[in-house]
Amino acid sequence: MPSNRQLERDLRIRVTREWILADVFQNLGCSVVASIIVAFAALKFISSADSFGEHLLRAAVIPYLGCLVYLSLSAGLIWLHTFLYGGLANLHDTLSLYVMGFTAAAVAFVVVIPYGLLCQYVMRSVSNNRA
């Protein structure tokens, strides 16, 4: 019999998977657009890092900035769909989207921080090649 911890983990994976697969193209589109916005907005911030501590700070901050942009785009699409086709959307649903999104990002810091370092390294090398 699986433990409670295993059941909770399986539930989180299933809920996340179902949420992502529900609107694959919308989620992918929001992710791509958010990545481009954050990449251009944080280009100088990334290129100004010199020490490992500065890189680590940026690796912690920039993915959460991306999360904010992604959630804003996703919430905007939800509201746009509601205005175009009718239906229900309210402030509570929008705010809960932010709470769940940032909670999921905070729980996934083990992946978010190394991924942030990797993305930062790639963006820094691209910005150095341009200069």
For the stretch 96-115, pLDDT in tens is: 888 888 888 888 888 878 88
CA separation for the pair 6, 61 (Å, rounded): 30
pLDDT of residue 60: 83
Domain count, the chain: 1
Residue 119 lies in a domain: yes
Residue 131 has pLDDT above 60, yes or no: no
Residue 49 lies in a domain: yes
For the stretch 30-60, pLDDT in tens is: 889 998 998 888 888 877 878 888 888 888 8
Model pTM score? 0.74
Residue 99 lies in a domain: yes
Residue 1 lies in a domain: no
The pair of three-digit structure tokens given for residue 79, joined into one six-digit string: 């509201």
- Average pLDDT on 9-21 reads 67
Residue 98 lies in a domain: yes
CA separation for the pair 104, 33 (Å, rounded): 20
Backbone phi, psi, residue 32, to 5° = -65, -45
* DSSP state, residue 3: -
CA separation for the pair 121, 114 (Å, rounded): 11
Of 38, 16, 37, nearest in space to 27 by CA: 16
The pair of three-digit structure tokens given for residue 76, joined into one six-digit string: 């905007």
pLDDT of residue 120: 75
Residue 17 lies in a domain: no
Residue 88 lies in a domain: yes
CA separation for the pair 30, 50 (Å, rounded): 31
Tally of CA atoms within 13 A in the half-sphere of 37 that contains its CB? 16
pLDDT of residue 72: 94
User: Which domain does 51 fall in, by range?
Assistant: 24-130
For the stretch 47-96, pLDDT in tens is: 787 888 888 888 888 888 988 999 999 889 888 888 888 777 778 878 88
Residue 13 lies in a domain: no
